[in-house]
Amino acid sequence: MTQTRFPPSAEPEPQPLPRLPQNPEFDADSEGLIPPSEAEPAVVQGVPHKLTAIDLFRGITILEVVAHHTSGLALRYAVPDTLSFLVLQLINRTLHFAVPAFVFLSAVVLTRSLLKNFRPGRYFFRRVTRGAWPYLLWSALYIAWYVWTGQRPPETLTDPDKWLFYLQYGKASYHLYFLLVALEVYLVIPLLLPLARRRPPIALALLIGAALQLGIYLLNREYLRLPFPASTVVWYMLPVTVGAAVGARLDEFPAWWRKYRVFLIAGAAAAYALYLPQALAYVRGEPVVPIVYSSLSWAYTTLMALTVLGVAYSLQRFAGAWRVALGVTGMFSLQVYLIHPAILQTLETIHTPGGDPLVFGLTMLGYFLTALILPTMLALLLADTRLSRLMFGR
């Protein structure tokens, strides 16, 4: 997910959920977040809500995000050419599908919503308040954070060229490029509605998306030459196209998953087996063929996104506090995504990882849990407040 080399049976009884935002303008179904056949209803402090597969998908993916960034931190302190270093590299490269997965999910829920009711004025206003504003705010906060923590010089704050660079390419912090990509997805999805209205089969959407993605890659290589293509939506047209197709057929997806999951999992495993050696070579600084590496990365991450959505639907059949915790974490995934890098950097400053492999591993596990739990708790405390809407757009 980071762009840095190292030297995204019977239904269970309703589960109680924490307090949720009570925004009178928010209609979860019109936002495309609650497929009608998806989940059991629950009432929390008088507020109806459904713990959906979308929540579980977000929960799984945000766990992957925090684990991916924690493993990246650990690699800076692990001893090279050791078993633990190799394991960390394997974990880091395996957990590299979060941004494509979140892009895929954005395409799914937005397509479903817009096919039901596309009002351009309302749509773009909500995208500004829920997408553009958090991007600008958190870019400014992280620019200040990096100066305050000594990672950038103070002159950064008064350098308009730096600000323009950070905002243009999502570089205020290493993770904020996703919010920039999401803003561009908001512009692309309405253009894909004609395709979505035709409700293409998911397999056909994979082929269309792959052809479109390869064409954009060649166009960029020969003509566009974008300086940071992975910080733009053009690098994610495969998951966007597949997400639009899934969004058009979301009510049918659980049945599709049950019918084809063996083939999907096998395809994802095959793509992973081909992708992993290329990914390991890349992080080790060894030469790779760019089009081969990128193609395998697109195949692996897109098939993983589909697989995670299928797994999320499968998890709907299970009851238990763990499922509630996963779903709640997913509900506040944006807050976790925005805050966790600052927590990891703070923990790294307070206590530099080290020691024997067991101590080192336990330390990194503590980092992971802290970076995951603290933002979730903060989001719960701020739920349904003006401060939450100011800070996170929701």
Residues of the chain with pLDDT under 50: 1-48
Q: Tell me what pLDDT residue 125 has.
A: 85
Alpha helical stretches, state H, the chain: 53-75, 83-94, 98-116, 120-127, 133-148, 160-169, 177-188, 193-197, 202-219, 237-248, 253-283, 290-315, 321-331, 333-350, 357-382, 386-392
Residue 267 has which token pair?
């395809």
What is the structure's pLDDT at 258? 95
50: Cα separation from own chain's centroid: 21
| The predicted structure's pLDDT at residue 332 | 93
Written as six digits, the tokens of 42 are 């629950």
Amino acid at site 10: A
At residue 48, the pLDDT reads 40
Distance CA(281)–CA(285), nearest Å, equals 6
Contact of 300 with 271, CB cutoff 8 Å: yes
Is residue 360 within 8 Å of 380, Cβ to Cβ? Answer: no
State residue 36's pLDDT score: 29
Structure confidence at residue 123 (pLDDT): 86
Write down the pTM of the prediction.
0.85
In whole angstroms, how far apart are CA 151 and each of 146, 177, 325? 5, 19, 34
Single-letter amino acid code for the residue at 309: L
**CA-based radius of gyration for the chain:** 21
